[in-house]
A and B are shown apart, each in its own frame.
Chain A
Amino acid sequence: MASTNGETDQVLVEERSCGRIFMLNRPKQLNALSAVMVSRLLELFLSCAEDSSVKFIIVKGQGRAFCAGGDVAAVVHDINRGNWKSGADYFRKEFTMNYVIATYIKPQVSILNGIVMGGGAGVSVHGRFRIATEKSLFAMPETALGLFPDIGASYFLSRLPGFFGEYVGLTGARLDGAEMLACGLATHFVQSESLPLLEEALVRAASSDPVVISSIIEQFSHAPNLKKNSAYHRLDVINKCFSRRTVEDIFEALERVSADKKDDWISSTIQSLKKASPMSLKISLRSIREGRLQGIGKCLVREFRMVCHVMLGEVSKDFVEGCRAILLDKDRNPKWAPSKLESISDEMVDRYFSKVDDADWEDLKLPVSSRLPAYAMAKL
């Protein structure tokens, strides 16, 4: 294991012939992405892109999580000290990293053997291969925190089958490995006990050809059965309800289904929407809808504008409140403001999508890279 100094121990790098293995190493925090980790990862991805001896990259997590998300506690701490701009710097770097991963020229294999949430999805889902296991647990829980699915989620959630992405993004529903594979968040499913052998095989093949890598992973993978009460079995209802134009319409559609027939899954779906920040629901839905019509770059630029407005708190301070209630005080009883969907006007929502009115502020500028593979080109 190679590490250059104490700080960068949060990401361990292992050189295995032509492969590089990045290990997220902050297990006590479930590998939540600190600012240091984001910087380090970005630097690693960029340098490996240049290094002709590197053919592929594996990303995995230490302990029981792949990565539980971004370090929002630190960001809220910054906001509370009146320093939203350092939060903005964090997201700027994180989103840039998401973009680099999404347009990466060398294959990335992410081993999602545990919790994958928020920012953790940003490090993995944009990459070429995502391996789920029986231990995987995926969620985008941002609306419960007063945030919205960021890190380019408006790009990949909107491309899940039907309106499953809206469901996952708005409710924060948890998915297991089989569900991740079924909906396309994962490309393969491998039993965790086979992971060391898979890693060995990838290292031995030392190939940068996605076709070769794919066929190696396939040797270790199988198609798991969806659990009986999986949300993915409810895709029909999800499509019917979550395709509605507004959050209010989605509620109404769900309640109509629930009135027709008592159903625990529907009630818990309605419950999780009711617990979420109304403002978060509004901006998340619009973001996913716009994301479906945009490339990854535009999605990240839009999400960066949104996250800056969230931090600025001009329209709503739900992010600070959500983090207080869920992460800091842990009373799990956030007081959202505005507290109701109907008190949110279109103009309030529009604000989140506009440029930030601040002399020093700039839109997210994404690195330009030439000669991208078709896989990455298709995302632009």
Chain B
Amino acid sequence: MEKANFRTQILTRHLQNRAPAASGGAVSRAPCLSYAPPEATASFDVSSMRKLMDGHNLGERDWLFNLMLQSKLFNPKLRGGRVFVAPDYNQSMEQQREMTMKRIQYLLDRGVFEGWMTGKGIEAEMRKLALLEVITIFDHSLAIKIGVHFFLWGGAIQFFGTKRHHDKWLRATETFLMKGCFAMTELGHGSNVRGIETITTYDPRTEEFIINTPCESAQKYWIGGAANHATHTVVFSQLNIEGKNEGVHAFITQIRDSDGNICPNIRIADCGHKIGLNGVDNGRIWFDNVRIPRENILNSVADVSSDGKYLSAIKDADQRFGAFMAPLTSGRVTIAVSAVYMAKMSLAIAIRYSLTRRAFSITPNGAEVLLLDYPSHQRRLLPLLAKTYAMSFAGNYLKLLYVRRTPQLIKTLHVVSSGLKATLTWHNMRTLQECREACGGQGLKTENRIGQLKGEYDVQSTFEGDNNVLMQQVSKALLAEYVAAKRKNKPFKELGLEHMNKPSPTIPSRLSSSTVHSSQFQNDIFCLRERDLLNRFAAEVSKYQAQGESKESAFNASYQLAEDLGRAFTDRAILQTFVEAENSLTDASLKNVLSLVRSMYVLVTLDEDPAFLRYGHLTTENAAIVRKEVVSLCSEIRPHALALVDSFGIPDGFLSPIAFDWVAANAWSASRD
């Protein structure tokens, strides 16, 4: 009966609403459902948490957010009384590419790139990384286009080049006197850079290198910037000197003149429309015996004398190749960090929406329930929130490792950046999908960002190293470390494997709630899994080798353990950065909430990775206890959810209409603006 009354009331309201709004006043215009903003119950200081999360250059970040919000170039749109900026993805590929260039010009004119190539020291590097993160929050295409020019082209000049290249190119790059790209990947070779087929020879009579694309599979592919804008490229090529292949080397080649005309003996084709990143002009390049002057070889690692002799301080070809790969580390660092920012963005939107959108009543005629008050909805979003916090700390650690790199740290940097790049980008894709679904139909609208970001960021699991290949590199490096330590009978002292020197931790046969919340237990169980998997992996590889298999095929055959081990290493490394971030704090309210978040990160990892059960690190009883604990952690974190996403430091205008008053944003009056 009450239900019938309720329907009648609604119908009456509909009928009354037919009267013109003018005579009725505000009351008659009230919608059936009104938007109520999420209740703010921050138990900690959001700005202090933001400081911890963003970590550095907050003033510069906010300045850049300001710059983008205040220019029409960033496509501001009024929705529900608020301004949101986001690229117009409904533009054609060509239009999106032109917009990307216009935005770059605007940022250049405002001094954003000042010091990006010529700045020295850690401070300049951190500023550059911070600004790139802010740019990626606006648009991945813009960040990639800038990243290719500065980090790949510019990085190659910096790291592979010597003074003559620095003098000629660094300032010119910083001011966009030219536009650079990076021609490494070929149609036939991506992750396996050593297999590329482009060939360069030397002509001592003219003192020129001759670069050639010998076959279709050697065409350069996916070269960002090549299709429309780039004037110069760094070409990666086999270097053939006096009939001997000296391996992969890098050369500067002009591909367009300053008017944008393609240079002689260069052919360029477009990679065409993509599932995302259409604001980046990826192209294909063929070199038809292109001649370049001898000084265009980037000669920090190896050189060719004017009379055509090959010269290199590094005699070992493997090491030489390793030196060439160094700039790719910066790409992996920026990719890993930007993946975390996208997870932050989608969670900020989906969690804000879930705190204002209701569905179904659970009592007769009761108010409908907020999405985030459903335990199942909490279980979908809050563990991802906890992981994003953990990975944000890992990203900050990775950045510091990168900017403070020393020759001794190159191996650690390579392994950690590989593991984190793969793990953080996979996490982002999973988070985007879950957040898209958690927003229901609204998640399908491009203006609500999350759905579109799936296409825009999918590439992250492929470029700068395929995620699966990178994870195998982690396991391979761990195995090498293991073999070396055992052979020399020396303790582990790198890659965070020091815990292997201690006796194996023991896990209580029956876990209590207080145990699972202790960081000691959390660290122990992650170390136990890593230690056990490393032992098993080493044993399996040597078993295959004992059967006569080569090291490589033994490794390939052990891929299941390799995958489990790569994950174990990365999760443990992430947890360590979390604990370090907590230890840097004095504010008790921040520490309290972070310890909940850390417990959630660990316990949900235990709940989701079958390796713990498979290899007996957790008994089935303990696995059940952990699973229950995840549920109670969800309800403990629930009151902090809004403050936790507000701490991400992403300004409202960079989120989307469903994160705020989605009723006003979708009102009839708004549809006529």
Residues of A within 8 A of B (CB): 55, 105, 158-159, 161-163, 207-209, 211-212, 239-240, 243-245, 249, 286, 289-290, 292-293, 295, 346, 370-371, 373-375, 377-380
Q: Are A293 and B37 in contact (CB under 8 A)?
A: no
- Is B22's CB under 8 angstroms from A211's CB? yes
Could you say which of B26, B67, B111, B652 has the most chain A C-beta atoms within 10 Å of its C-beta? B26
| Residue pair A374, B667 in contact (C-beta under 8 Å) | yes
CB-contact partner of B652 in A209, A286, A293, A373, under 8 A:
A293
Determine how close the nearest CB of chain A comes to the CB of B570; give it in whole angstroms: 33
CB pair B664 A378 closer than 8 Å: yes
CB pair B80 A378 closer than 8 Å = yes
CA distance A5 to B388 in the complex (A): 60
Q: Which of B60, B69, B111 contacts A244 (CB 8 A)?
A: B111
Is A374's CB under 8 angstroms from B69's CB?
no
Are A212 and B22 within 8 A (Cβ)?
yes
B71 and A374 within 8 A (CB): no
Given known A293-B651, A378-B82, contact A245–B59 (CB-CB < 8 A): yes
Among residues of A, the one whose C-beta sits closest to the C-beta of B654 is A293
- Within 8 Å CB of B29, what residues of A? 209
Asked if A293 and B66 make an inter-chain contact with CB atoms under 8 angstroms apart, the answer reads: yes
A163 neighbours in B (Cβ, 8 Å): 70
* B25: interface (CB < 8 Å): yes
Task: Name which residue of chain A comes closest to B65, CB basis.
Answer: A293
* Contact of B35 (CB < 8 Å), options: A209, A249, A377: A377
Report B316-353 CB contacts with A as 1/0, cut-off 8 Å.
Answer: 00000000000000000000000000000000000000
Question: A374 touching B65 by the CB < 8 A rule?
Answer: no
Minimal Cβ-Cβ distance residue in A for B661: A377
Residue of A159, A243, A290, A373 ringed by the most chain B CB atoms within 10 A: A243
Q: Which residues of B contact A370 (CB under 8 A)?
A: 36
Contacts of B34 in A (CB 8 A): 371
Which of A244, A286, A379 is B59 in contact with, Cβ under 8 Å? Answer: A286
Q: Does B21 contact A (CB under 8 A)?
A: yes
The count of chain B contact residues (Cβ–Cβ below 8 Å) is 35
Chain B residues in 8 Å Cβ range of A249: 111
B360 within 8 Å of A by Cβ?
no
**New A-B contacts (14) at CB < 8 Å, excluding given A158-B66, A380-B37:** A161-B70, A162-B70, A208-B26, A243-B66, A245-B59, A292-B69, A292-B651, A371-B34, A374-B35, A374-B80, A377-B81, A377-B661, A377-B664, A379-B81
Most central of A163, A239, A245, A374 by chain B CB within 10 Å:
A374
B273 within 8 Å of A by Cβ?
no
Contact yes or no, B81 A374, CB < 8 A: yes
Contact with A along B52-91 (1 / 0, CB 8 A): 0000000110110111011100000000111100000000
Instruction: Check: B663 CB closer than 8 A to any chain A CB.
Output: yes
- Specify which of A158, A346, A378 is in contact with B81 (CB 8 Å cutoff): A378
B102 at interface by CB-CB < 8 Å: no
A-side contacts of B628, CB under 8 Å: none
A55 to B29, CA, bound (A): 15
The 8 closest A-B pairs by CB, nearest first: A378-B81, A374-B664, A293-B651, A245-B63, A377-B661, A378-B82, A208-B25, A212-B22
B660 at the interface (CB under 8 A from A): yes
A357 to B71 alpha-carbon distance, docked (Å)? 39
Which A residue sits closest to B67, measured CB to CB? Answer: A243
Q: List 16 A-B contacts (CB under 8 A).
A: A55-B25, A162-B70, A209-B24, A240-B109, A243-B70, A244-B110, A245-B111, A289-B62, A292-B651, A293-B62, A293-B651, A346-B59, A377-B37, A377-B80, A378-B82, A378-B660
The smallest C-beta distance from B572 to any residue of chain A, in angstroms, reads 36
* Chain A residues whose C-beta falls within 8 Å of the C-beta of B82 in the assembled complex: 378
Q: Which residues of A contact B652 (CB under 8 A)?
A: 293, 295
Q: A residues within 8 A CB of B70?
A: 161-163, 239, 243, 292
**Cα distance A378–B80 when bound, in Å?**
7
Q: Which residue of B lies closest to A378 (CB)?
A: B81
Please state if B62 and A290 are interface contacts (CB–CB under 8 Å).
Answer: yes
Q: How far is the CA of A105 from the CA of B59 in the complex (A)?
A: 35
Write the nearest CB–CB distance from A3 to chain B, whole angstroms.
29
Cβ distance B610 to chain A, nearest Cβ, rounded Å: 43
Chain A residues, CB < 8 A from B109 = 240
CA of A177 to CA of B110 in the docked complex: distance in angstroms? 31
Please name the residue on chain B nearest to A165 by beta carbon. Answer: B70
For residue A285, which residue of chain B has the nearest CB?
B63
Q: How far is the CB of A249 from chain B (nearest CB, A)?
A: 7
Distance A281 CA – B108 CA, assembled complex (angstroms): 25
Give min CB distance, A330 to chain B, whole Å.
37
Q: List residues of chain A with CB within 8 A of the CB of B59.
A: 245, 286, 289, 346
The residue in chain A whose Cβ has the minimal distance to the Cβ of B26 is: A208
Q: What residues of chain A lie closer than 8 Å to B110, measured between beta carbons?
A: 243-244
Task: Identify the closest chain A residue to B667 (Cβ).
Answer: A374
CA distance A159 to B155 in the complex (A): 38
- Residues from chain B with Cβ under 8 Å of A159 in the complex: 83
Task: State in angstroms the CA–CA spacing of A163 and B67 once bound together.
Answer: 9
Q: Is the CB of B81 within 8 A of A245?
A: no
> What residues of B have a CB within 8 angstroms of the CB of A209 in the complex?
21-22, 24-26, 29
| Nearest-CB residue, chain B, relative to A372 | B37
Alpha-carbon distance A162/B34, docked complex (angstroms):
33
Residues on the A chain within 8 Å of B663, using CB: 374
A44: shortest Cβ distance to chain B, in Å?
20
Q: Cα distance A177–B410 when bound, in Å?
A: 63
> Closest Cβ of chain A: how far from B642's Cβ, in Å?
13
A353 to chain B, nearest CB (A): 9
Chain B neighbourhood of A380, CB < 8 A: 37
As a 0/1 sequence over residues 91 to 122 of chain B, the CB contacts with chain A under 8 angstroms (1 = contact) are: 00000000000000000011100000000000
| Interchain CA distance A208-B27 in the complex, whole Å | 10
User: B62 contacts A207, CB within 8 Å?
Assistant: no
Minimum CB distance partner of A286 in chain B: B59
Cα–Cα distance between A143 and B575 once the two chains are bound (Å): 48
Q: Within 8 Å CB of A211, what residues of B?
A: 21-22
Q: Tell me how far the C-beta of B106 lies from the nearest C-beta in chain A, rounded to whole angstroms.
A: 10
Tell me which residues across on chain A come within 8 A of B66, comparing CB atoms.
158, 243, 289, 292-293
Bound Cα distance A161, B69 (Å): 10
Q: Specify which chain B residues have a CB less than 8 angstroms from the CB of A379 in the assembled complex.
A: 81
User: How far is A43 from B171 in the complex, measured between Cα atoms in Å?
Assistant: 61
A129 to B664, CA, bound (A): 19
Q: A126 → chain B, closest Cβ, in Å?
A: 14
Q: Is the Cβ of A373 less than 8 Å from the Cβ of B65?
A: no
**Contact of A378 with B661 in the complex, beta carbons under 8 Å:** yes
State the CA gap A208–B21 with chains docked (Å): 11
A342 to B: closest C-beta gap in Å = 17
Chain B residue nearest to A207 in the complex (CB): B25
B580 to chain A minimum Cβ distance, whole angstroms, is 24
CA distance A163 to B65 in the complex (A): 13
CA A371 – CA B65 in complex, angstroms?
31
- Inter-chain contacts of B83 with A (CB < 8 A): 159
Which chain B positions have C-beta within 8 A of A374? 35, 80-81, 661, 663-664, 667
A55 to B660 CA separation, bound complex (whole angstroms) = 27
Q: Which residue of A lies closest to B79 (CB)?
A: A378
CB distance from A203 to the nearest CB of B (A): 15
Chain A's nearest CB lies how many Å from the CB of B76? 11
CB-CB nearest in chain B for A242: B70
| Complex Cα spacing A243 to B110, Å | 7
Determine whether the beta carbon of B60 is less than 8 Å from that of A245: yes
Q: Which residues of B contact A371 (CB under 8 A)?
A: 34
CA of A378 to CA of B663, assembled, Å? 11
Q: How far is the CA of A374 from the CA of B35 in the complex (A)?
A: 9
State A105–B601 Cα separation when bound (angstroms).
Answer: 43
Complexed CA–CA distance, A272 and B350 (Å): 47
Docked pose: A243 CA to B74 CA in angstroms: 15
Residues of A within 8 A of B80 (CB): 374, 377-378
Q: Which residues on the B side are within 8 Å of A105 (C-beta)?
A: 26
CB distance from B615 to the nearest CB of A (A): 48
Measured CA separation A375–B22 after assembly (Å): 17
A375 touches B81 (CB 8 A): yes
A243 CA / B63 CA spacing, docked (Å) = 8
A102 to B22, CA, bound (A): 23
Residues of B within 8 A of A295 (CB): 652
